[in-house]
Structure 1
Amino acid sequence: MMRTLFIADLHLSENHRHISDAFFSFLEKEAVNAETLYILGDMFEVWIGDDEHTPLMDEVAQKLTQFSQKNNTPIFYIHGNRDFMIGKRYAKQASMTLLPEHTEIDLYGCKTLIMHGDTLCLFDKNYQRMRKVIHNPMLQFIFNCLPLRLRKRIGWKIRTASQSKKVYKNTNMMGVTQDEVLRLMSKHNVQHLIHGHTHQAFIHDLEVNNKAGKRYDVGDWYNNLSYVEASPTGVELVVRPINYYQ
């Protein structure tokens, strides 16, 4: 059966081993016969550089490589807002191909736009301002030159600040801006958009250029696991308990 799978927002960390176990089981039992696997960002809770080697990072790379080689399945990765510093070194270690933040793909004859989704949330002006700063190539180069221990402290301080601010953000701020969705879909001339970031697994019906379209929000892996499955017969969103495969 021809299948393409999309996942996002696993936020893997040593503190949430059940999510890592769910992910590895997903690779072994669900994705085993997939033609292609797309990971749409935030696979890790935090990323401070390819030169860090934690047991979890190495285990994830090993599992992805084994999965890709055993099943001859290509893995494509779009950076998230947590792990935008993943570089070519780790991508190679994990057998992943890095993609631009907005990528068009041919999904069984249907031109589709895929992305992480943080660029859609324009109401969150503070984040969008910060995003411009942290995505500056020069600042990223300087950050990578800092000692690993210092980068760890900075990375976790940013993560802690981000988590605390979430409490005060309303749903509209955390959600996507419809005008930006329509603008990007019109720009790329697509009727389908697949993304993550908002952690709200849902299929949204919309109209783009006077034609029916759909926006697939992949969802996160906190209490449930979720993924989008595409085949020649259609696209569906699947949500299951986090321990479904175990």
Structure 2
Amino acid sequence: MPYLDVDFEDGPIWFISDLHLSPRQPALTRLFQQFCETRAKEGQAVFILGDLFDYWVHVDQSRESAYAEVFAHLQQLVAAGIRVYVMVGNRDFALSKNLLASFGLIPIPDPMALRLGTQNVLLTHGDLLCTDDRRYQIFRRVIRHPLIRLSVGNLSYSCLQKLATGLRRGSTLAVQKKSLNITDAHPLAIQTALRFGIAGQHLEQGFDVLVHGHTHRPVWEHRDGGWRMVLGAWSPDAACIGRWAAGQWSLEKITRIP
């Protein structure tokens, strides 16, 4: 199990996911900017647990103004001495480690373990926990296979944009047809993650806290001998984010100032 060996002292530490930032939603980017200029600067670190962007297909996106603005906000945090860790999600898994590092961001794998205070914490985007959605799990393995990534990577940016648009539309229609149980984290997967780990990567002593996003159903709950924090998806007006400070966990709501 990849383990982040960093002493965060008493924090605070912020956890966010599922921002789905894109040029089509400038209000979302304004809310993100507000977070970076306020809450984030109060902390020692920010963990982005996947789907920072609505989609990511090519390095050329980073040169477009809407995406460059997002990276600029993150670079300002780094310049202020705040560590920014980035895990990719199901929408932006093509973000490369080299690109993230070029902006001073710290790429982390999915899953990732760390210790906060006296607790072992497991971080994951969350899609690996949705084990009932078998079609998606197969698609996930195929689309992330190195040979597929290599083949797709040879396509032009414009072609990849069209491909991403088609995949997003197909995904939206597929989710609408699925029951809520299928698209949610499976109880057994949650139990296994807390007791042992996830995706075949284990920590012998298990975990006290599981933090993830993806399902868009924010909750802070005690279950299976541990705690689970589910982060919320961002809307143009508000977001539900996670906070850890001096051993205390909380879900907090931020709202966009007009």
Report 1:165-184 matches (<5 A).
165-184=174-193
**1:198 aligned onto 2:215:** yes
TM-score under structure 2 normalisation?
0.89
Secondary structure of the residue aligned to 2:53 is: coil
Q: Give, in whole Å, the separation in 1 of the partners of 2:228 and 2:46.
A: 19
Query: Which ranges in structure 1 are unaligned for 5 or more consecutive residues?
Result: none
Secondary structure of the residue aligned to 1:51 is: helix
Q: Which residue of 2 aligns with 1:231?
A: 245
**Post-superposition offset of 1:127:** 0.6
Q: Which residue of 2 aligns with 1:137?
A: 146
CA contact (8 A) 1:61 1:95 kept: no
Report 1:24-63 matches (<5 A).
24-52=33-61, 53-63=63-73
Query: Which ranges in structure 2 are unaligned for 5 or more consecutive residues?
Result: 1-9, 197-202
Q: AA paired with 2:65?
A: P
**Post-superposition offset of 1:170:** 1.5
Q: AA paired with 2:228?
A: R
**1:9 aligned onto 2:26:** no
Q: Which residue of 1 aligns with 2:199?
A: none
Q: Give, in whole Å, the separation in 1 of the partners of 2:59 and 2:102.
A: 10
Q: Which residue of 2 aligns with 1:69?
A: 79
**1:221 aligned onto 2:237:** no
The number of aligned residues is: 239
CA contact (8 A) 1:226 1:239 kept: yes
CA contact (8 A) 2:216 2:233 kept: yes
**1:18 aligned onto 2:18:** no
CA contact (8 A) 1:205 1:213 kept: yes
Q: Give, in whole Å, the separation in 1 of the partners of 2:11 and 2:114.
A: 16
Which string of whole-angstrom CA distances, capped at 9 and with x for unpartnered residues, describes residues 74-125 of structure 1? Answer: 1101110000000023202432111111100111221100010000001111
Q: AA paired with 1:96?
A: L
Q: AA paired with 1:115?
A: T
TM-score under structure 1 normalisation?
0.93
**Post-superposition offset of 1:240:** 3.3
CA RMSD of aligned residues (A): 1.4
Which string of whole-angstrom CA distances, capped at 9 and with x for unpartnered residues, describes residues 24-49 of structure 1? Answer: 10010111121110000001001102
Structure 1 moving runs of 4+ over 6 Å: none
Percent identity for Structure 1 against Structure 2: 25
Instruction: Select between 60-69 and 84-93 the one with higher mean Cα deviation.
Output: 84-93
Instruction: Select between 134-143 and 45-54 the one with higher mean Cα deviation.
Output: 45-54
Q: Give, in whole Å, the separation in 2 of the partners of 1:240 and 1:97.
A: 24
